[in-house]
Structure 1
Amino acid sequence: MTRRGWWLVVLNFVLPGSAQVLAGNRRLGRFGLGASLVLLTLAVVAGVSYVLWPAAVLTLFTNSIGLWLAALILLFYAVLWLVLTLDTLRLVRLVRARPKARPLIAAFATVLMLVVCGSAGYGALVATTASGFLANVFTAGPSVPPVDGRYNILLLGGDAGPDRQGMRPDSISVVSIDAKTGKASIIGLPRNLVDFPFPDDSPLASVYPEGYGAIDGCEVDVCMLNSVYTEVELKSPEMYPNAVKNGSEPGIEGMRDAAEGITGLTIQYYVLIDMQGFSDLIDALGGVEITVKERLPIGGDEELNNVDGWVEPGKQHMDGFTALWYGRARHGTSDYDRMARQRVLEEAILKQFNPANVLVKFQGVAKAGEQVVKTDIPQSMLGYFVSLASKTKSQPITTVELTPANDVDPENPDYGQIRDLVAAGLVVPKK
C-alpha cells in the first residue's frame, strides 16, 4: 500500500487523471486524462508553430483575446489539477500505508499540487495583467508596411518638470530596424539642432519653409529640436487634428515630422518614455548595473547648488532614482556626454528585460510600464516586432550620433551631410 501510494501520487503529477483510471473513478479519470492529453497536444502544436511561424504565435499571445483565452485555460487546469490531487490523496488510503510514510506521501502530494496549481494560477494572473497593460499602452490601429525594407521608430525621452512650461524631449533618437534581418541602427539626434527642414507634406513646412526658426524665429523662447514639441503642443495643436484619435499627440507628431526632415527617413511609429516615471520601471526590474566613468551629481543645478549626493566612478548597481540622474546630470558635461550616457543606460535596461526577470517581476513591470510608456504601435504588430527583436538582440547595434564627433555642428548643420551619415549607418556590411 505504501508503494501504491507513492506511485499514484507520481502518476497524478506526470499524467493527471491516470491515477483515477487505474484505481478510482474512471469517469473522472478519463476526463482528467483527456484534458491532460489535450493540453499536451496544444503545447506541442504551439511549440512546433513557434519554430515554423514565430510571429504568428507571438501575435496570438500579444493581444487581449489571446491572453484572456490563455488565462481561462490555465485557470481551468489549475482547478482540475486541484480536484485530481485531492482525489488521488483519497485513493492513496494513507491509513493503510506505513506510519512513517504517511506524512511524506501527503507532503509530497501537497507540494506538487501547490507547484502545479500555483504556477497555473500565476500564469493566469500574468496573462490578465498583460492584457490590461497591452490595452492601456498599445493602440488598436492598423499595421503599416516597412518603407525601403525598414521600420523606423522615433524614441523620445520626455522630461517634464516643475521648472518647465510643458514637456521638452530630453532624449531624441530614431531606431531603424531591417524588417527581415532585424539589424538595428540607433540615430542619436541632439536636442540643440537648429534650422532643420520639415517634409513637404508637414503643416510645419509652410510655417518654416527655410527651416525651423531660420527666418523670424519660432513661437517659443529657444528654436531648437526639442522645442518643437512644446510649440506645437501648447501653441498650435490644431496643426495635427487627428493626433489624439490615432494614439499620439500634436507635439509628438511635430517631433516626428522634424525627425523625418532631419534624417530623410519615413518614421512609422513613436515611443515616448516619461523620464519622471522611468525610475519606477528600473526599480521594478531590480535596478541596473552600469560602469560609471566620471563622478556625477545627483540633483542640484549646473552650479552644484542643492546637490543631494554623487554617483561615484566604477561599477555601480543603481536604483531608478540614481540611474535617472546618471542619465540627466549636466554639471561638467556636455549634451553629447549625456547622450552617450543615455545610450549606456538604455543598453543596461535592455539586459534586464530578460524573460526570467520580467516574468518574476511582471506585476511591478507592467504597472510601471503603463505610467512610463506611450506609443502608437498597434497590438496587431506586437508579435511581429517581438519576433524581430529576437533577431536584433543577436546582432551588434550600429550607432550614429549626429554630434561634433561625426563632424556635425548642431548650431550650423549641413542636412545633406547628415542624411549621408544616416544612410551610411543603415548599410548592412557584406560578409
Structure 2
Amino acid sequence: MTTRAWWLVVLNFVLPGSAQVLAGNRRLGRFGLGATLTLITAAIIAGAVYLLWPAVVLTVFTSTIGLWAAAAVLAFYAVTWLVLTLNTLSLIRLGRAAPGARPVIAAFSTALMVVVCGTAGYGAFVATSASEFLSSVFVAGPSEPPVDGRYNILLLGGDAGADREGLRPDSLSVVSIDATTGQATTISLPRNLEDAPFSAGSSLGALYPEGYGSIDGCDVSACMLNSIFTEAELKRPEYYPNAVTEGSSPGIQATLEAAQGITGLTIQYFVLIDMQGFSDLIDALGGVDIDVHNRVPVHTDETFTKVLFWFEPGMQHMDGYHALWFARSRHGTSDYDRMQRQTQMQEALLAQASPANVLTKFQGVAAAGSRVVKTDVPQGMLGYFVNLASKTKELPVISVPLIPENGVDPENPDYSAIQAMIAAALAPAPTATPAP
C-alpha cells in the first residue's frame, strides 16, 4: 500500500487525472486527463508558433483579451488540480501505508499541491494585474508603420518630483530602432539647443518659422529646446486642441515636432518618463549596476551645489535614489556629461531588465511603471516591440550625442550638418562585395 500510495501521488503530479482513471472515479479521471492533455497540446502549439512567429504570441499575451483569457485558463487549472490532488489523497489510503511513510507522503503531496496550484493561481493574478497595468499605461489606437525601415521614439525625462512644481523635460533623446534587426541608435538632444526648427505642418512652428525664438524671442524666459514644452503646455495649449484626447499633451506634441525638425526623422511615438517614478522603477527591479567613469556628486538640495558624497569610479550597484542622482547630477559637470550618464543609465536598464527579473518582481514593477510612464504607443504594438527589444538587447546601442565634441554648437547649431550626422549614423553598414 505504501508503494501504491507513492505511485498515485507521482501519477497525479506527472499526468493529473491518471490516478483517478487507474484507482478511482474514472469519470473525474477522464475529465482531468482531458484537461491536462488539452493544456499540454495548447502549450506545444503556442511554443511552436513562438519559435516561428514570436510577435504573434507576444501580441496575444500583451492584449487585454489575451491576458484575461490566460487568467481564466490558469484559474480553471488551479481549481482542477486542487480537486484532483485532494481526491488522490483520499485514494492513497494513508492509514494502510507504513507508519513511517505516512507523514512523508502527506507532506510531499501537500507540497506538490501548493506548488502547482499556487503557481497557477499566482499566474492568473499576474495576468489580470498585467492587463490593468498595460491598459493604464498604453493607449488604444492604430499602429504606425516604420518609416524608412525604422521606428523613431521620442524619449523625455521629466523632472517632476516631490520637491518640484510642474514638469520640464530634463532629458531629451530620440531612439531610432531598425524595424528588422532591432539595432537601436540613441540621439541625445541637448536641452539648451537654440533656434530649434519644427517639422512641416507644426502648429508652434507656424509661429516660429525661422526656428524657436530666433526672431523676436519666445514667450518664456529662455528660448531653448526644453522651453518648447513649457511654452506649449502653459502659454499656447490652444495650438494643440486634440493633444490630450489623443493621449499626448500640448507640450509633448510641440517638443516632438521640434525633435523631428532637428533630426529630420519622422517620430511615430513618444515615451515620457517621470524622474521620481524612474527611481521607484529601479528600486522595483532590485537596483542597477553602473560603471562610473568619473567622480559624480550626490547633492543635498535642489540647487545642486552642496555635495553630500561622491560616486567614485568603478562598478557601482545603485538603488533608485542614487541612480536618479547619478543621472541628474550637475555640480562640477556639464549638461553634456549628464546626457552621457543618462544614456548609460538607459542602456544599463535595457540590459538588466530581463523578462525573468520583471516577472519575479512584477507587482513592484507594475506599481512603479504606472507612475513612471506616459506614452502614446498603442497596446496592440506591444507584442511587436517586445519581440524587437529581444533583438535590441543582443546588439550594442549606437550613441549619437549632439554635443560640442561632435561639432554641435548649441548656441548656433548647424541643423543641416546635424541631420547629415544622424543620417550617416543610421545608414546601413556596407556589405562586403564578394571576390570575383
Both structures adopt the same fold (TM-score exceeding 0.5): yes
Q: Structure 1: which amino acid aligns with 2:86? A: L
Distance 1:313 1:235 in 2: 43
Distance 1:421 1:203 in 2: 27
**In the alignment, which residue of structure 2 is the partner of 1:71?**
71
SS in 1 for 2:171: strand
SS in 1 for 2:255: helix
Q: Structure 2: which amino acid aligns with 1:110? A: T
**In the alignment, which residue of structure 2 is the partner of 1:88?**
88
Question: Conserved in 2, the CA contact under 8 Å of 1:285 and 1:353?
Answer: yes
Unaligned residue ranges in structure 2 (runs of 5+): 432-436
Q: Structure 1: which amino acid aligns with 2:26? A: R
Q: Where do residues 162-241 of structure 1 align in structure 2 (5 Å cutoff)? A: 166-241=166-241
SS in 2 for 1:27: helix
**In the alignment, which residue of structure 2 is the partner of 1:420?**
420
Q: Structure 1: which amino acid aligns with 2:365? A: V
| Residues 368-426 of structure 1: per-residue CA shift (max 9 Å, x gap) | 00000000000111111111111111122211111111111111100000000110111
SS in 2 for 1:291: strand
Unaligned residue ranges in structure 1 (runs of 5+): none
Runs of 4+ deviating beyond 6 Å: none
CA drift at 1:228: 0.6
SS in 1 for 2:330: coil
User: Is 1:379 matched up with 2:383?
Assistant: no
Q: Structure 2: which amino acid aligns with 1:126? A: V
Distance 2:57 2:208 in 1: 46
Distance 1:131 1:25 in 2: 38
Q: Structure 2: which amino acid aligns with 1:134? A: L
Q: Where do residues 215-364 of structure 1 align in structure 2 (5 Å cutoff)? A: 215-300=215-300, 305-364=305-364
Q: Structure 1: which amino acid aligns with 2:49? A: S
| Residues 231-281 of structure 1: per-residue CA shift (max 9 Å, x gap) | 100000111111111111110000100000000000000000000221110
Distance 1:428 1:52 in 2: 26
CA separation of 1:304/1:151 partners in 2, compared to 1, >3 Å: closer, same or farther?
A: closer
| Residues 195-225 of structure 1: per-residue CA shift (max 9 Å, x gap) | 0111120011210011000011101100100
CA separation of 1:56/1:162 partners in 2, compared to 1, >3 Å: closer, same or farther?
A: closer
Distance 1:394 1:268 in 2: 24
Question: Conserved in 1, the CA contact under 8 Å of 2:160 and 2:167?
Answer: yes
CA separation of 1:161/1:124 partners in 2, compared to 1, >3 Å: closer, same or farther?
A: closer
| Residues 293-333 of structure 1: per-residue CA shift (max 9 Å, x gap) | 33322224698654444333322211100110000000111
CA separation of 1:134/1:216 partners in 2, compared to 1, >3 Å: closer, same or farther?
A: same
Distance 2:164 2:323 in 1: 22
Larger CA deviation: 159-168 vs 271-280: 159-168
**In the alignment, which residue of structure 2 is the partner of 1:148?**
148
Seq. identity, %: 69
Distance 1:407 1:10 in 2: 70
Q: Where do residues 1-150 of structure 1 align in structure 2 (5 Å cutoff)? A: 1-150=1-150
CA drift at 1:33: 0.4
Question: Conserved in 2, the CA contact under 8 Å of 1:311 and 1:322?
Answer: no
Between the two proteins, the alignment pairs up a number of residues equal to 431
Distance 1:302 1:424 in 2: 39
Distance 1:23 1:90 in 2: 11
Q: Structure 2: which amino acid aligns with 1:334? A: S
TM-score by length of 1: 0.97
TM-score by length of 2: 0.96
Distance 1:315 1:186 in 2: 23
Question: Conserved in 1, the CA contact under 8 Å of 2:299 and 2:308?
Answer: yes
| Residues 112-135 of structure 1: per-residue CA shift (max 9 Å, x gap) | 111111111111111011000000
